[in-house]
Structure 1
Amino acid sequence: MSDLNLDDLADELADFAPGKKKQTTYTAREERIIAGFEDIVRFYAEHGRAPQHGEDRDIFERLYAVRLDRLRAQEDCRALLSDMDRHGLLTEPDVSSFVEADPDLDELASELADLGGEGDITQLRHVRSVEEKRAAEEIARRDKCNDFEKFKPLFEQVKQELASGARVTRPFELKAEIRPGAFFIVGGLITYVAEMDDIFTNAQGRTDARLRVIFDNGTESGMLMRSLQRQLHDDNAGRRITDPAPGPLFADRPENGEAETGTIYVLRSQSDHPFVAEHREVVHKIGVTGGSVETRISGAEKSSTYLLAGVDVVATYKVYGVNCQKLESLLHKVFAAAQLNLMIPDRFGHMVKPREWFLVPLHIIQEAVERVQDRTIIEYRYDASSASMVKR
């Protein structure tokens, strides 16, 4: 779990401030109504408008539109939510036409069944956790991006490159991936880190920085780096978008008749060795083979080279027109400072030190591969203390 920043702590401690009035106690029905309305407010913050009816609309937007109509039509609901209705959603006209405007909630519920929903959604049962509410508040604090036209071409290009395969999405791993120029997917939106202020150390001794983050719906946020990190970790669909795929050396097929040379492969060990088990996410074997990776790793559990255990292939990169042995040696030299210093007994009880295993995050290996392609790799080395590539 990510550490709280000062703003988070202030919010947590506010309830214990001297002289603070006791928080209003709501009934279970009122909590459900409030939670349901917060979903609508979140939709408004994301799209800049109230949810609307129509078969061409997203199923959740249609659900929110029906829910909003029902809330508008009930005086006790309007009274309960009046202090939270800063956008005037409950005072909009035409509060009695929801039945004709869209299918009823039973029909919408049947459409939602395929998405794993259950229960009677007319009762607005979902009461969100503190973390979900914080995420909604983060979204609500987003502002309109006044110079979005400057960024719009970037988002259009990224979408095209995702469609063509020039870019792909990968799981988010570390906050070191958050940097100016990086793209992510958060809350279903393509997210661009446009600017990053100087890095500072917060009260918990953690590094942080203020960002300018642009979203493809035309909004922006001046969130902290750790806030974006938390959102990416909390969002099961949160992803990072890779930089454009390198050129011919890493293309899907060789160009100009160039013969395929081999594959760079990255492995993770299934070993139950205590150190490997504890650091499994960053312990990787990096190699280059001119043949099949599957053939190369067959019988891994019997070889000390593979830590006498099975392995998982976590990344592969096709290479053309290069010397595999020299390329592998180059990659090993780049990561020499992070070579795993581990002695294990082989099948005959002799102590051996496996090579080609390194304590390096996967996204750093990806960066190194990209620098091999653009021929800048010789200018860099891996700095283990900062877990980053640095110029020599």
Structure 2
Amino acid sequence: MTKNKLSIDELAAELEEFAPREKNRSYSKTERQLVLGFEDILGFVQKHQRLPRNQEGVEIFERLYAVRLEALRQNPEALELLTPLDTEGLLDPDKSWAENDLAELSFDELADALSEFDDDDLGELRHVRPAAERLAPEEVAQRERCEDFEAFAPIFEQVRADLKTGIRETIPCDFNKITEEGDLFILNGQIAYVAHKGEEFPTGYGDMDARLRVIFDNKTESPLLMRSLKRALNKDDTSRRVTKADLGPLFENEISEGDIISGTIYVLRSQSDHPFIAQNRELIHKIGVTTNTVARRIADAANQATYLLADVEIVAEYQLVGVAPNRFEKLLHGYLANAQIDLTIKDRFGKPVSPREWFLVPLSVIEEIIERIQDGSIVEYSYNPGEARLELKAEVN
């Protein structure tokens, strides 16, 4: 039997299928800057099907890419890092077309140059954009007016309210975290909402990418790639991620062994004979948080203005587990801000004081608020003081 002979190229192709997959590598900050900068150049070539040119009258981004690419070609460390990613053969030293302005830079200096390129190195250029607009082409050119912004306006309104009350917070961006649909960021001072995430696809650089629909609170949107959004966030020193409206395990109906009780929410009813209090006694409640026992907290209520200089009745208690009591108290008071009573009394020395933390809200509604904070649905409701009930925000709109 005659065996079919394979050429060396055919044999390599056959064996490639069985070769072990190279594990995704992690990059240092310097290496990441080089990779991201090179990806921009690759993107330009793939989009325009030609090499970037450093010529008079050419758009500044193209001239930057041309100079940067030539600098990469002259740096051995950069070549070692980027050659496996060079799907277009751009690092071939025989394809020279840009002025060698950066050839003598070290590896670290080159990374800095790629992330913060100085336009002065290019001489006098035409069509130079303002500094605020110097982003990758995809990050600026595809911003457009969001035609259906009204559908997203309530989201931005709610996020601002949640940030004010503490239901949400802003935290530093974790650039290793995968961007998901529904994520929120602060980018260049604007709230950015990931309204849609397309199917992920491999980039060929050992990671995944996806097309996003990002809505901004200035009524614009952009179909950014996931890596482009990360790059924009990385470039903005003030960028932040907005946390989800999830407070975690605030309460426990049954305290388990090992649980750390961080505080107690208490709901009080005043025994004051003040006319307004007496008339609305069943509706007026003080809501507070203590790290001591509630009994100790209210032991001297009759002599403290914060308790309206009267005895109080404990009508409800909830134990907090693993959450900062002060943060939760701020959150709860912020949520009920429109129900806070404006009452002035005289203290023991005859001075006028205006006690806080007293709210015109039925006990049943307070209980419902606590339940909805537990299950996370509180963000869908607001308190209507006129009707003394929670109502869906969709009903309000």
Normalised by the length of structure 2, the TM-score is: 0.36
Bigger radius of gyration among the two: 2
Normalised by the length of structure 1, the TM-score is: 0.37
Structure having the higher helix fraction is 1
